Amino acid sequence: MDVTSQLLKVYLVEKQIRGLQTRLKAAEKFLNEQDGQLSKIESKHSDLSTQLKRLQAKAADNEGEMKRLDERIRTVREQMNTARTNKEYQAFLVEANTFKTERDAMETAALEHMAKVDEVRKQIEEIESAKSQRSSVKQVATTDRDQRHAEIRERLEELKKERGSATKDVSQDALGTLLKLLEQRGDDAMATIEVHDAKRHEYNCGSCMMALPIEAVAGLMSSGRLTLCASCQCVLYIDDVAKEALAPPAKKGAKASAR
């Protein structure tokens, strides 16, 4: 078996392996996306919970300060009732009004904090709903990933054994060239020759569609030597369609008679 045929055998097996792995990678990518979104939701939930605690603490402080001021106001009013002079009475009145102003400010702050508490609680409810929905999607994604892995596991093992067998007799240099192209170009690592006009020796690369010199085609036809497209650098090979198109007219007639 010539080197191009050996590489084609490896390429076809590798192509199947990559196809199966692509299905699994797509499922894993979707699962990772759900993980990422769920992490963002959980982070936001944590931030809102911390914010809620701070607001509740501030509201509690406001209420505590209101009670303290209520007590001061009550005490001052009692003192007003026992004031001996008008001047003393007026002093207590000013003090009571001051405490009342502070108390009103505390009440306003407390109401603002409680309004924010209600708003944050609403946001937490919404984020918890989103978290629940995203967790459900993640569970579906996990199940899908596991199912795909189970579906391809046996076939993937078979193909890896085939690949090991196919690469056994290939030269390291030729195999290295193919593996490098597979990494760079994926399924376009190899491409068949397309015969545009056999009589005029017009051939194209099946990957980039650029014209190929007759020497490249002749080398493949005669010895199957390793041939790269001068334009896109993929490994060229000749499939059955190209072989049929390149066959001499007499040979084509013989095949037709045989049919």
Average pLDDT over residues 5-24: 92
Residue 259 scores a pLDDT above 60: no
Q: For residue 209, give the nearest of 244, 234, 227 by alpha carbon.
A: 234
| Helices assigned H by DSSP within 168-213 | 172-185
pTM for this one? 0.60
Each residue's pLDDT tens digit, 107-127: 999 999 999 999 999 999 999
Which one-letter amino acid corresponds to residue 255?
K
CB under 8 Å to 211, separation ≥6 — which residues?
Answer: 202, 203, 204
Lookup: tokens for 201? 């020796």
Chain segment 191-249, per-residue pLDDT in tens: 999 999 988 989 999 999 999 999 989 989 888 899 999 999 999 999 999 988 888 76
pLDDT digits (tens, 9 = 90+) for 124-139: 999 999 999 999 999 9
Torsion angles phi and psi, residue 99, rounded to 5:
-65, -35
Confidence of residue 250 (pLDDT cuts 50, 70, 90): low
